[in-house]
Amino acid sequence: MRLFCFLMTCFVFFIKDKAYSNSYMFQKSDVIKTIIIDAGHGGHDSGAPGSKSLEKNISLSIALKLDSLLLKKMNDVQVIMTRSTDTFIDLHERTNMANRANGDLFISIHANSANPTIHKKMVGTKQQTYYRTENGVKKLYTRDVPVYKYWYSKDTTQGSEVYIWSAEKMGDKIDAELNNNDASKYDATPVVNGTEDTVPSISHEENIPIKRILSSITTIRSYAVQSRELADSIEEELHRIGRVNRGTRQRNEKGIWVLQGSAMPSVLVEVGYISNPEEEEYLNSNAGQVAISLAIFKAIQEYKYHQDHKYITQ
Ligand SMILES: [Zn+2]
C-alpha cells in the first residue's frame, strides 16, 4: 500500500512536469513488432453460454481469423496466440506468455452476456392456514395470500464494448511493468480460474530503485494513452460495420487480470452479446466473424501506423 501511494504521488508530479514540455521531434520506427492475440476462455472454461453456442468457441474463431489477417497483411509483425485450440490456459500464463515475448500489444477477444430479466405478476390469491398461540392456547387460522406468476425474458442488450484497465488499478500495472523481466514472479503466483475478472495480487519489492519506478510510470502512462487510442479505433471500426457501439470502458469495481498483468498496451474486446439471439447468430456466422476480425485488424493497422510514425516530446 505504501509503495502504491508513493507511485501515485510520483505519477502526479510526472504529469505536471510533462505539461510544460512543448518541443517535438518526428520519429519513424517500427514500434509494434510483436502482437499477442488472446482468445478468451477455452477447455473446461466455456465462458458465457448462448442458446446454441459457447463464448470460448466464438472468441477462438475470431482470434484465429484475426491471426491469419495479421499474418497475411502485416508481415513485419510477429503474432503470438495465447491459445489456438480449445484448451484451457490460466490467466497468469496468458500474461506470462505476453510478457516473456516482450509483446507490444495485447488484444483479448471475448463475447458478452446479459442476465435474463425476471418478471413477476400477481395472478390471484389462495387461502393459507397458520397457527397462533393466544393465552397459552394454540389456534388454527386462515388468511388470503397473493399468488405470483414468474417468468423470464431474454435481455436484448446488444453491441460491442472495449475494455482498458482502470486508472485506479495503476499500481497493478506498474507491478507488471516492474516485474516484466522477471517471469519467475509470475510463475510463483497461484493458478487462478478462467474468468477475465480475477485479479490476484503480485508481491511488491519495496526496495526497487526509484529511477526504475519513475521510468515504469513513464511507460505505464504511455500504455494508458495507447490502449485508449486502440480501443477507440476498434470501437470506431466495429461501428463502421454496423455494430452497436457501447464505448470504451474501464472496469473500476473489478479489474480484468489480462489487462493489468500484461506489461504493454492492452485491450479486451467484447465483440457482442451471446445472450441476444440475433447477436448470437451473427457472432457464430462466418460473415460476422470475418467482419469483426477485419474491423479489429483495420484498427490495429491504423494504431500501428500512428505508433510507428509518432511525434515524440524532447
Ligand atoms: Zn469472457
Mean pLDDT of 283-308: 95
What's the rounded Cα separation, in Å, for the pair 96 and 85? 18
| Element holding 271 (H helix, E strand) | strand 266-273
Instruction: Give the span between the Cα atoms of 31 and 296, in whole angstroms.
Output: 19
Average pLDDT, the chain: 79
The rounded Å distance from CA 257 to ligand 1 centre is 12
Instruction: State the distance from the centre of ligand 1 to the C-alpha of 163, rounded, in angstroms.
Output: 12
Query: Which tops the pLDDT comparison, 5 or 149?
Result: 149
Ligand 1 centroid to residue 259 C-alpha, Å:
13
Using the mean position of ligand 1's atoms as its centre, give its distance from the Cα of residue 134 in Å: 58
Q: Residue 60 carries which side chain, given as an amino acid letter?
A: L
Whole-number Å distance between alpha carbons of 88 and 46: 9
Q: Which residue has the cell 470460448?
A: 56
* Strand 266-273 versus strand 105-112 pairing type: parallel
Burial track 112-140 (b if 16+ CB lie within 10 A, e otherwise) = bbeeeeeeeeeeeeeeeeeeeeeeeeeee
List pLDDT tens digits, range 160-212.
999 988 665 666 666 666 666 443 333 333 333 334 544 444 444 445 566 66
Q: What is the average per-residue pLDDT within 141-169?
A: 83
**Is residue 239 packed enough to be buried (19+ CB in 10 Å), middle (13-18) or exposed (0-12)?**
middle
What percentage of residues in the chain have a pLDDT greater than 90? Answer: 45
Between the CA of 162 and the centroid of ligand 1 the distance, in Å, is 12
State the pLDDT confidence band at 9, using cuts at 50, 70 and 90. very low
Q: Are 150 and 120 in contact (CB under 8 A)?
A: yes
Ligand 1 center from residue 55 Cα (angstroms): 7
pLDDT tens, position by position, 92-123? 899 999 999 999 999 999 999 988 778 888 99
How far CA 271 is from CA of 40, 99, 109, in Å, comes to: 11, 25, 7
Long-range contacts of 218-226 (CB under 8 A, 24+ apart): 218/14, 219/177, 220/11, 220/170, 220/173, 220/174, 220/177, 221/11, 221/14, 221/15, 222/265, 223/173, 223/177, 223/264, 223/265, 223/266, 224/164, 224/167, 224/170, 226/265, 226/303, 226/307
Q: Which contiguous run of DSSP H or E holds residue 67?
A: helix 55-73
Summarize the confidence of residues 29-33 as an average pLDDT: 80
Give whole-number Cα distances, 101 to 97, 127, 262, in Å. 6, 70, 11
CA 120 to ligand 1 centroid distance, Å: 30
Q: How far is CA 197 from the centre of its chain?
A: 8
Q: What is the pTM of this model?
A: 0.72
Closest CA to 187 of 100, 107, 108: 100
Q: How far is the CA of 270 from the centre of ligand 1 (A)?
A: 8
Let me know the angle formed at the C-alpha of 31 by 29 and 34, rounded to the nearest 5 degrees: 140
Residue 239 and residue 233: Cα distance in Å, rounded?
10
Within the chain, all domains assigned CATH 3.40.630.40 are found at 24-114+157-313
Cα of 197 vs centre of ligand 1, distance in Å, is 9
Q: How far is the CA of 56 from the centre of ligand 1 (A)?
A: 8
Q: How many helices (H) and strands (E) does the chain have?
A: 9, 10
**Ligand 1 centroid to residue 206 C-alpha, Å:** 34
Question: Could you read off the pLDDT of 210-222 as tens digits, one per residue?
Answer: 666 666 677 777 7
Gap from CA of 177 to ligand 1 centroid (Å): 24
CATH says 24-114+157-313 is which class?
Answer: alpha beta
CB atoms within 10 A of CB 24: 11
- Residue 107 is classified by DSSP as E
Distance 132 CA to ligand 1 centre (A): 53
For the record, the C-alpha cell of 84 comes out as: 489456438
- Ligand 1 centroid vs 94 CA: distance in angstroms? 14
Query: Rounded to the nearest whole angstrom, what is the distance from the C-alpha of residue 305 to the centroid of ligand 1?
Result: 29
Strands (E), 104-166: 105-112, 117-134, 137-153, 160-164
* Centroid of ligand 1 to alpha carbon of 88 (angstroms): 13
Lowest mean pLDDT among 54-68, 150-164, 265-279: 150-164
pLDDT at residue number 21: 39
Of 62-76, 144-158, 231-245, the range with the lowest mean pLDDT is 144-158
